[in-house]
Structure 1
Amino acid sequence: MWFRQEGEVNISVLLTLKEMLVYHLYANNSIVSYSRASFLCEQEMEFQQVLLRVQESLTGDEVQDMVFLCSDLLSPKDLSTVTLGRQLFSLLENRDLLSSEDPSLLLELLRIIKRNSLLRNLHSDAFTQANSMLYAQRISPYRQLLYELSESICDQDLKNIKFLLIKTLPRKKLEKDMTLLQLFLEMEKEDLLGEDNLDVLKDIIASIHPGLEKRIIQYKTESCEFGGRVIAQEIGINSSKSDTTALPSPLTSVSSVDAMGEQVDRLSLTEGATGISGDHSQHSEFNSVFEEESTDLPVTENPEIQQYKMKGDRRGVCVIINNYDFGACRMKNREGTDIDKNRLEVVFQWLGFEVLAEQDCDRMRILQVLRDLAARDHTLADCVVCCVLSHGREDGVVGVDGKTVTFKELIETLSPYQCSSLYQKPKLFFIQACRGTREQRAVFSQNFLEDEDMPVSDAAVPRDSIPEAADYLLAMSTVPSYVSFREKEKGSWFIQSLCHNLQQLVPRGTDLLSILTQVNSDVSKKTDRSGLKKQMPQPEFTLTKRVVFPVPKTRLPLP
């Protein structure tokens, strides 16, 4: 990028580069308007200016700290020549680890090295306002542990550590002016230190700084307790290889990370590993990790959970994407889906939403509908709702053309980065689609022939994941790997139960997660005429407050 060039840059050159980039974006992407291309270009240039300001604020030691933290992400050869912040940022950008669309790694690095003042100064920048809630944990807990230890080791302790290693590591290297982080890297090269190899370090630390030994023991204990699950989730690998009939345990939680010296929330997930023909939605799980930056915070017994504000001039927009006709891709049409759509329209209009229904959308149309929704001004609205009724796969929902829109793509369209007026407002997704092809069955088994009155599954192959973000709810019709059921004459079990419980419980002031818990209970009790087919919905969320819809002035008759 232009900011990496040494010396002064003539403004006319910058304008020429901008015009070229705008034209390139416009000419090579039919869905990007010229004005949008211009906006993206300005956004990118603004981001590079932010990186320059960050570089100017970092000391040489801080740059080396960040280099160490990134040693799992970049090659040692590349990192060996890094002395300036801009060099590191360039490497990260070249590896698609840092961009104007996802600056979360930069925020994470600044948080770890405790540059909170710099983070607060960045808070006024457009990219940070939009993404301060997005926080991808790319720096491993192991790497953070080593950095934490280095911050607590004084110069004399470092000399003592080098002395204890004098017969293990080359003397020439130990005699150099080597920092503790550089020493850790040398120990890793000699296979004396690693994520699962902390014994040597623990023994050395125990003799030098006994208090820090407890921190290493704590890390090892936590790693054993989690059994590597956290790592498997973050790299998108399903750690379970057994094909048992036991239900996956639903993990529904909010996790907190200090991104701007304050609490933010993050969501992590697991994607399915095997592609099976059928209606899959995404195999995703929420990972609960709470980090406390300060132990001085007051502790309150039974604190009252705050609620999102629901007193705006408008409740918001509810978009319903209703896919019925799959003839173009030779998948079964979704009989009964119109019953779900009509019921959702009635209920969400009753709740005060402006309802927009879209019929039979292919992949591009689904994305465009959500882009149009993001382009609206939601300043006066309380929240936004998106209901998707379609076939599904492990990684997302299926358009009528048979192509998948991943859950990542669905959610990113409504991120505060794409729509700043939705910042800190709940974004609610209700997904009626399968997440696999396995059927949950009752404990007994019988053989029944399927007929026209039997419920059918919405089932179609896995791949992607949900991005990390706060203030999201995904109310999924089923748990990972299993199908959802839809009755041709009555609609789907999940959507009908959702609408019924909204009508029953909103007037009582019940919050949305409690309503979805009741939906879980109701749907879990449903079965087909044979008594064989079962279903278990699963809400997944990063809501930071309770969602309580105001009581409508009128009541709807129950169907």
Structure 2
Amino acid sequence: MSDPQPLEEESYDMSGTRLALTLCVTKAREGSEEDMEALEHMFQQLGFESTMKRDPTAKQFQEELDKFQQAMDARTDPISCGFVVLMAHGLEGQLKGEDGEMVNLDDLFAVLNNKNCRALRGKPKVYIVQACRGEHKDPGEVVGGDEVMMITKDNTKTIPTFTDFLHIFSTIEGYISYRHDKKGSFFIQTLVKVFTERKGPILELLTEVTRRMAEEELVQGGKARKVNPEIQSTLRKRLYLQK
């Protein structure tokens, strides 16, 4: 039996322009401004050109993503990465705009796929979603007797339509997401801290985000709650955000 071959350490080329778009509903979402401030600091440190839009309606969520895609496709300089942050009240698969109407996440995700966005074809596209995905609450479970510490035929090279995506949700399907009215969202604040203080491929950094969130104890209505993010990846290479 032959020895297993080592994994290739290929990574995405991040030498080009990095672009970020944040769409955040602040209405009835105390602590949102703290999240916006933290994200702006993170994007500045990581070398992203960042655009932030407050209080989009459901229609404007779609319109702003479309404009983001069109502006990228119109540029002549190489683009290395697109980073989108979506923050609002939500349900599974949907976000609520400032007007109370809903927009489907799948429609927002589709805007930057390899079919619809030429500039990001084969490039990493990161979506962060800070929103509830249901009403369930996780009280945590016992491990080992101890409480879990809170927390083509013509030789044309082609690429699958849905590769090079990274979707990062603040909570798992069906569960609520936590936001402090003064300190901001538990997920966003933890993610920013890890992304700005640590170096390494993004999936390893997200493992650290999950670990830190799992170790924390959140209290809601006098009851302890647990929460963890969910990470969905079709990345083909290692993604390093640090320069």
What interval of TM-score do these two structures reach, taking the shorter chain for normalisation? 0.7 to 0.9
Distance apart, 1:550 and its partner CA: 3.3
For 1:322, the equivalent position in structure 2 comes to 24
Q: How many angstroms apart in 1 are the aligned matches of 2:78 and 2:62?
A: 24
Residue 34 of structure 2 is aligned to residue 302 of structure 1: no
Residues 360-387 of structure 1: CA distance to partner in whole angstroms, max 9, x if unpaired?
0011111110011100235512100000
Residues 21-41 of structure 1: CA distance to partner in whole angstroms, max 9, x if unpaired?
xxxxxxxxxxxxxxxxxxxxx
| Aligned with residue 479 of structure 1, among 172, 175, 181 | 172
For 1:288, the equivalent position in structure 2 comes to none
For 1:545, the equivalent position in structure 2 comes to 237
- 1:140-159 equivalences under 5 Å are none
Residue 78 of structure 2 is aligned to residue 417 of structure 1: no
Residues 300, 516 of structure 1: CA spacing in aligned structure 2 closer, same or farther, 3 A cutoff?
same
| Aligned with residue 440 of structure 1, among 117, 138, 151 | 138
Runs of 4+ aligned structure 1 residues displaced above 3 Å come to none
For 1:490, the equivalent position in structure 2 comes to 183
- 1:114-513 equivalences under 5 Å are 301-312=5-16, 314=17, 316-325=18-27, 333-377=28-72, 379-443=77-141, 469-506=162-199, 510-513=200-203
Does the 8 Å CA contact 1:432/1:476 hold for their aligned counterparts?
yes
Distance apart, 1:417 and its partner CA: 2.5
The structure with the largest alpha-carbon Rg is 1
What letter matches 1:493 in structure 2? F
Residue 226 of structure 2 is aligned to residue 524 of structure 1: no
TM-score normalised to structure 1 length: 0.38
In terms of fraction of residues, the more helix-rich structure is: 1
What letter matches 1:541 in structure 2? S
Distance apart, 1:304 and its partner CA: 2.2
Distance apart, 1:412 and its partner CA: 1.2
Does the 8 Å CA contact 1:442/1:531 hold for their aligned counterparts?
no
Higher RCO (CA 8 Å, separation ≥ 6 residues): 2
Q: Please, which runs of 5 or more residues in structure 2 have no aligned partner?
A: 143-160
What letter matches 2:123 in structure 1? K
Distance apart, 1:300 and its partner CA: 5.3
In terms of fraction of residues, the more strand-rich structure is: 2
Identity %: 28
What letter matches 1:336 in structure 2? G
Does the 8 Å CA contact 2:171/2:229 hold for their aligned counterparts?
yes
Q: How many angstroms apart in 2 are the aligned matches of 1:318 and 1:299?
A: 43
What letter matches 2:126 in structure 1? L
Does the 8 Å CA contact 1:393/1:404 hold for their aligned counterparts?
no
Distance apart, 1:301 and its partner CA: 1.6
What letter matches 2:33 in structure 1? D
TM-score normalised to structure 2 length: 0.85
Give the RMSD, CA atoms, in angstroms.
Answer: 2.0
Distance apart, 1:410 and its partner CA: 0.6
SS at match of 1:440: coil
Does the 8 Å CA contact 2:114/2:162 hold for their aligned counterparts?
no
Q: Please, which runs of 5 or more residues in structure 1 have no aligned partner?
A: 1-297, 326-332, 445-467, 552-559
